[in-house]
Amino acid sequence: MLRFALFSLLSLPLLAQDRIGTIQLRVSTDRADWRYTPGQPVRFRILAIQDGHLVSGLKVTYKIGPEMMPPKIEQSATLPAEGLIVDGGTLTEPGFLRCIATVEKNGKTYRALATAAFQPEALKPTQSDPADFDQFWAAGKAALAKIPIDAKRTLLPDYGNAAANCYHLNLQNVGAGTGTSRFYGILCEPKAPGKYPALLSVPGAGVRPYRGLAEMAARGVITLQVGIHGIPVTMDQSVYDSLGTGALAGYNTFGLDNRDRYYYRRVYLGCVRANDYLTTHPNWDGLTLAVTGGSQGGALSIITAALDPRVKGLAAYYPALADVTGYLQNRAGGWPHMFRATEGAQAHRSQDKIAASSYYDVVNFARRVKVPGLYSWGFNDETCPPTSMYSAYNVIPGQKRLLLALETGHNNIPEQVAEVQSWLYSFLKVAPDQNGAR
């Protein structure tokens, strides 16, 4: 009887099995280096992968045009198993041509893109360089110098480690108008006595707490990781969430109609104030000061290096606030895209705001960077478009190196971070760790 039952089960057809998986949509160019000369045609390949195998039969919609601009081509097609090859056209001048593809399956939309570069080293800024730019910032630094640093620091036992102490630090800074404000950050310093290089770490956009760079301090670097909003950086996350969606929502355009009241005036000078503290630290080596950050922090790295001759080097990921006037010339501009016309609106396109932006644009600081720097980004960045970043990079007169992670957007990859960190440690003259890594 048991043998009959087993035979009956084995002879039954297999039950139907449902299957689900993530679609990996990919877009690539027909040149491995993603580079073209103006007038040279581009072909994009679009393919989908699920469970390690190519997928066919999906409806794909693709849009092609200069990055951040309305598409010149917008079509749909059925995706063959070997992938879809589409003619992307070309550009007749330096810039970037982007293909964005989407497919839908099981109620979910999948999206991918690739961006072809056309002679980006020849891109020139659209932003003007005010005749009194240097005088404006010299006056700002002179006003800052009259304000005592008035440093206040509180030990944070849970933030440090066996080789480094960390402190919640706040310094006196210029105010948004008249008066003063405070500038907050996390200071980490080696416990062992000695003289050390210093690193200022400047933040990306947003409102958040910070933990400091205790691991780097343990390696022998005095580090100061700052916030920009004039508020403590050790509060509960919920406080920053409330501020980010409330009082500080859209802070990047506060006061943009007046160069003396724009939100970033206090921020830029606050970074100089942070260096005032680092260069008076009793354990500073008296020579080596670098600055680093990504996005908004990439912008602040370039800006601080231009404003402060005490900075000897910088490492910047995908800098924001670069060539923001690009949209006024019908091409991509940098974050926060205040001059981008959307849905028929002209955004902040008033003459006073355009004029004020020229005193804060990374392009005009980049023209004045004379110290060595490492810069890194990808071609698929939609937050800080490569057109805007190249517009700043191309006018830097100092020693510079560009590390490209082509396929990345507004993010970095481990290999990229490792290379930038190695460069920083080498610049700061910090010995490799026991595994040979810097």
Active site residues: 295, 381, 410
Number of Cβ within a 10 Å radius of residue 299: 33
Q: Report strand pairing: 284-294 vs 196-201.
A: parallel
CA–CA separation, 53 and 73 (whole Å): 28
Strand partners, 102: 61, 111
Q: Which residues pair with 194 in a beta bridge?
A: none
Q: Rounded distance, CA 167 to CA 187, Å?
A: 5
In angstroms, the CA 211 to CA 187 distance is 9
Q: How far apart are CA 72 and CA 61, in angstroms?
A: 14
Structure tokens at 431: 């010995």
Residue 6 buriedness (CB in 10 A; 0-12 / 13-18 / 19+): exposed
Identify whether the C-beta of residue 331 lies closer than 8 Å to the C-beta of residue 91: no
Query: Do 370 and 362 meet the contact criterion of CB atoms below 8 Å apart?
Result: no
How crowded is residue 353: how many other Cβ atoms within 10 Å of its Cβ? 19
Is the omega angle on the peptide bond into residue 336 within 30 degrees of 0, that is, cis? yes
- Look up residue 211 and give its amino acid: R
E strand or H helix at 183? strand 180-190
Q: Is 286 helix (H, G, I), strand (E, B) or coil?
A: strand
- Residue type (1 letter), 356: A
- CA proximity to 295, closest of 401, 378, 237: 378
- Of 402, 385, 410, residue with least CA distance to 115: 385
Transcribe 200-261 into DSSP letters: EE---SS-------HHHHHTT-EEEEE-SSSS-SSS-HHHHHHHHHTTTTTGGGTTTT-TTT
